[in-house]
């Protein structure tokens, strides 16, 4: 018998091939996320709540994941469903038209979301604030950003390279600037650098330097300070008098996500009170829902007092996105040299 391929059999074959990934995709959701603790805790606290859905993590830092989203823009089907990004990155990818505007009615847990964490293009997952970290054995408590990002501290001040945008916000707040204008802070940072401020490539390298006494202070998320305190590092925090810049980390849905229904289910689980509570306990960030029953002692350590809450400052994501390329150039060429 001769084996004939005519138009009809070819079409049937193609349809069968197309149906295979579609059927598999129904049970699979792919989450783009940072690796390490964060990914591990997503598995422990969120993925475990989804029954009958296979959750796969595509682990990478935010920048390469954003670059991939950009490269996949023209594709009908992207390679991830959900991406974990900081609030300013969420804004930026939305500006590039890479993410789906969410239908909150598909996520019952969204009714408990703090309104400020509800973006049209994404959902805040955790939040913390940028505070001053110092070693009480090496210096007296600073009051804010101005006496921390201070050239007088010489090489006892540590600055984290990947926290560039937030260091620039802090320097601006300390120098008469604002979240809408980073320019006034630049001279202060250059003066600190000339005075010998140490620059570390990662949060972990900064923590190591705090631990060994190489540096006495710096600025970082309060949540990280809590984690490092838990790890035995001698470090105290101060909510800066100039204002506490907020850090929000959340999730967006890629516009060409292969499985949007599963993505909605995962996002809903992300806002589950138990998942939010466990993230607060495990990672020291504040929940973004109002019904997470965080133990009082944990809430006291990770949260902010009513007085401090008044000083929480949300960032100007539009300004940050617009000036980011130029500020990166300034940071690399003028600040780091």
Partner 1 sequence: MRHELMRKNQALTATALLGPATIFIAVGLLAPLAILFRYSLNGFVAQTKTMVEALTIQNYVTFFTDAYYTGALGTTVRVALLVTVVCLVLGFPLAYVVARTQSRFKHLLIIAIVLPLFVGNSVRAAGWMVVFGNKGFFNASLMGLGLLSKPIEIMFTEKAVIIGIIAVNLPFMVLSLQSVIESIDRAVEEAAFSLGAPPLTMFRRVLWPLALPGILAGTILCFILAMNAYATPFLLGGPLFKMMAPVIYNEFTQKTNWPFGGAIAFILMAVTLSLTIAANMLLRRRDTRVSPT
Q: Nearer Cβ to partner 1, position 143 or 161?
A: 161
Residues 165-189: b if buried by 16+ CB within 10 A, e if exposed: bbbbbbbbbbbebbbeebeebbebb
What's the CA gap between 234 and 138, in Å, rounded?
Answer: 10
Nearest CB to partner 1, comparing residues 18 and 326: 326
C-beta of 229: minimal distance to partner 1 in Å? 21
Q: What is the CA radius of gyration of the chain?
A: 23
**What is the 8-class DSSP label of residue 77?**
S
- CB 168 to partner 1: min, Å: 14
Instruction: Answer left, alpha or beta for residue 36, where phi above 0 means left and psi between -120 and 50 means alpha.
Output: left
Residue that the structure tokens 């005075």 belong to? 195
Distance CA 104, CA 123 (A): 10
Type and span of the H or E element at 132: strand 122-134
Give the nearest distance from C-beta 335 to partner 1 in angstroms: 10
Q: How far apart, in whole angstroms, are the C-alpha atoms of residue 137 and residue 213?
A: 9
Burial 204-215 (b: 16+ CB within 10 A, else e): ebbbebbbeeeb
- DSSP-derived letter for residue 332 is I
Taken as a whole, the chain contains a residue count of 337
By C-beta, is 65 or 188 nearer to partner 1? Answer: 65
CB of 215 to partner 1, least distance (A): 11
Q: What is the three-class DSSP state of 5? A: coil
Q: Whole-number minimum distance, CB 325 to partner 1, in Å? A: 4
Q: Which two three-digit tokens encode residue 153? A: 């501290």
Binding site for partner 1 (CB under 8 A): 63-64, 66-67, 70, 92, 95-96, 161, 199-201, 208, 212, 214, 321-326, 328, 332-333, 336-337
- Long-range Cβ contacts of 14-22 (<8 Å, 24+ apart): 21/258
Q: Which is nearer to partner 1, 52 or 97 (CB)?
A: 97
* CA–CA separation, 85 and 119 (whole Å): 13
Please give the Cα distance from 327 to 337 (Å, whole number).
13
Residue 93 or 270 having the CB closest to partner 1: 93
Residue whose token pair is 């401020």: 197
Which is nearer to partner 1, 309 or 336 (by Cβ)?
A: 336
Q: How far is the CB of 326 from partner 1 (least distance, A)?
A: 6
Cα-based distances in Å from 274 to 108, 290, 304: 15, 12, 21
């Amino acid at each position: 018998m001769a084996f004939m391929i005519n138009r009809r059999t070819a079409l049937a074959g193609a349809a069968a091939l197309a149906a295979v990934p579609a059927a598999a995709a129904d049970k699979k959701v792919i989450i783009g996320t940072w690796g390490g603790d964060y990914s591990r805790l997503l598995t422990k606290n969120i993925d475990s709540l989804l029954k009958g859905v296979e959750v796969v993590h595509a682990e990478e830092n935010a920048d390469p994941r954003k670059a991939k989203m950009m490269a996949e823009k023209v594709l009908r089907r992207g390679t991830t469903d959900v991406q974990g990004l900081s609030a300013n990155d969420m804004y930026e990818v939305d500006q590039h038209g890479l993410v789906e505007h969410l239908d909150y009615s598909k996520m019952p847990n969204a009714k408990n979301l703090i309104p400020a964490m509800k973006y049209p293009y994404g959902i805040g997952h955790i939040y913390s604030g940028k505070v001053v970290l110092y070693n009480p054995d090496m210096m007296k408590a600073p009051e804010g950003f101005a006496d921390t990002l201070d050239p007088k501290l010489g090489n006892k001040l540590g600055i984290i390279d990947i926290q560039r945008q937030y260091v620039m916000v802090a320097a601006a707040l300390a120098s008469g600037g604002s979240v809408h204008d980073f320019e006034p802070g630049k001279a202060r940072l250059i003066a600190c650098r000339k005075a010998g401020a140490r620059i570390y490539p990662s949060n972990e390298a900064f923590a190591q330097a705090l631990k060994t006494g190489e540096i006495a202070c710096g600025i970082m998320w309060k949540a990280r300070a809590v984690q490092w305190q838990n790890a035995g590092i001698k470090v105290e925090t101060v909510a800066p008098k100039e204002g506490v810049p907020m850090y929000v980390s959340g999730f967006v849905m890629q516009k060409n996500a292969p499985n949007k229904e599963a993505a909605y289910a995962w996002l809903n689980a992300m806002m589950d009170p138990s998942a939010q509570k466990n993230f607060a306990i495990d990672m020291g960030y504040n929940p973004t829902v109002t019904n997470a029953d965080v133990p009082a002692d944990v809430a006291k350590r990770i949260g902010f007092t009513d007085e401090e809450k008044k000083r929480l400052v949300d960032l100007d994501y539009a300004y940050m996105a617009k000036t980011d390329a130029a500020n990166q150039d300034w940071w690399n060429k003028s600040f780091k040299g």
